[in-house]
Amino acid sequence: MDDSFSRIWQEIAARPDGPLAMRFYLQPLMAIALATRDGVKDARLGKPPYFWTLFTESSQRGPLLKDGWHSEWKLFSIAFILDFAYQIIVLKGIRPLEGLLVAIALAFVPYLMLRGTVNRLVRGTVGAPPPQPPDHAVR
């Protein structure tokens, strides 16, 4: 069992030096761009910080995860597919657990770390969201 974990981590650590290494820069940058977009939107709507709210507000966890997945699914899929291609080219085999770990590290971790941070930074400059008119108001 220790040998398989050791092999997994050695193979993951070797990925940035092999073919398709540019994805280790581009995919986190795309995750940062998505997190920035969503964090600014959250701040303008007066929503609480994303990552913190996932753990503190169980009633909002489902909708927040759905919203995050809606933004991230394409980037996550691309990360997984590119790692799959890397595995075929370099490792001459398929290792889905490794692909999943790499996709999470490249797509989800930067997004989770930055969406709430951007929200907090922007909230101070944007101010409170504009008041919404009542539903019965005539426009």
The percentage of residues in the chain with a pLDDT greater than 90, rounded to a whole number, is: 22
DSSP 17: G
Dihedral-angle region of residue 64 (phi above 0 means left; psi in -120 to 50 means alpha; beta otherwise)? alpha
Q: Report the pLDDT value the prediction gives residue 37, as an integer from 0 to 100.
A: 93
**Reported pTM:** 0.75
Note the pLDDT tens digit of each residue in 73-84. Answer: 988 898 899 889
The answer to whether 20 and 86 have CB atoms below 8 angstroms apart is: yes
Q: Is 115 exposed, middle or buried (0-12, 13-18, 19+ CB in 10 A)?
A: buried
Note the pLDDT tens digit of each residue in 35-73. Answer: 999 999 999 888 888 888 888 888 988 988 898 888 889
Least confident of 11-15, 25-29, 63-67, 91-95: 11-15
The answer to whether 27 and 102 have CB atoms below 8 angstroms apart is: no
Q: Over 70: is that where the pLDDT of 5 sits?
A: yes
Q: What is the rounded distance in angstroms from the CA atom of residue 23 to the CA atom of residue 35?
A: 18
Q: Report the pLDDT value the prediction gives residue 91, as an integer from 0 to 100.
A: 84
